[in-house]
Amino acid sequence: MTNTTDSTIFRIGGDLAVRRIGYGTMRLAGAPHERGGMTAPIWTAPTDRAESIALLRRAVDLGVNFFDTADAYALGAGEELLAEALHPYRDGVVIATKAGVVRPSPTEWITHGHPAYLRQQAELSLRRLRTDRIDLFQLHRIDPAYPLADQIGALRQLQEEGKIRHIGLSEVTVEELTAASRIAPVASVQNVYNLAERGHDAVIDHTAERGIAFLPYFPVARGEHAADGGPLAAVAEEVGATRSQVALAWLLHRAPNVIPIPGTSSPAHLAENVDALRVSLTEEQIKRLTA
């Protein structure tokens, strides 16, 4: 770790310049009271649609230019919402989506990586996002039921057809990433990672060495790490920032390829998240947070 970020910009795939605080749209679904926790259904379009659209547009005004969604979020309604809010997309706005998970009910997220299915879902995402090419198309999960070469091969075919620009993976190990990279160039990895959940340190180090973007989802630690009297609270007081901002700043300091994608339906929290780019941490503070 270093005590300052190299830059507030990272180039995904070497050419998509994005600010290093993005926006994850997963939580913009259903009613506001249904969005919290790890078991939120993410099943229907948001009931506060006008407010959600205004929030996405506000994010662009604040300088956010990287938005992450998936076909599984509200059965495609998440992609439709993003297009309604931001299309025609401003120059520099980068849209990432995912395929490879089916939703037969509000409580089920089932991996499905049949190559024909992945290609079909890309076609549907293109329509919902109102674009001719998806900037970053991510395999939501690797499906052990099908050869990895077939799943990545389907994405490579879409890339060769000009329908997607870059390929990404989600919830993978270094070994899986290495195997996939032999089939097609991989521009990003999206794994869960935050102060409390650091199981993918090896993946961060591997991707940083190779210029691959690392997109931590659920980037803001909860529970014990965010409690009163803990190191996060202490550092936040020292630097005059919120605990969420310090948690995001810690991620930014972790490696120059890390691009957190916090989601929120609150305009105040949105602005707070973006301002985490301004938070500077000392080596001593980073060590306390990391311990």
Tell me the catalytic residues. Answer: 73
Q: Name the strand (E) or helix (H) holding 186.
A: none
3-state secondary structure of 187: coil
Residue 211 region, left (φ>0) first, then alpha (ψ -120 to 50), else beta? Answer: left
DSSP string for residues in 64-97? --EEE--TTGGGGHHHHHHHHHHPSPPTT-EEEE
CA distances from 44 to 8, 35, 263, 280 (A): 34, 11, 17, 39
**Element (DSSP H or E) covering residue 153:** helix 148-160
165 burial level (CB within 10 Å; 0-12, 13-18, 19+): buried
| 134/122 Cα distance (integer angstroms) | 8
Kindly state the helix (H) or strand (E) to which residue 105 belongs, with its residue range: none
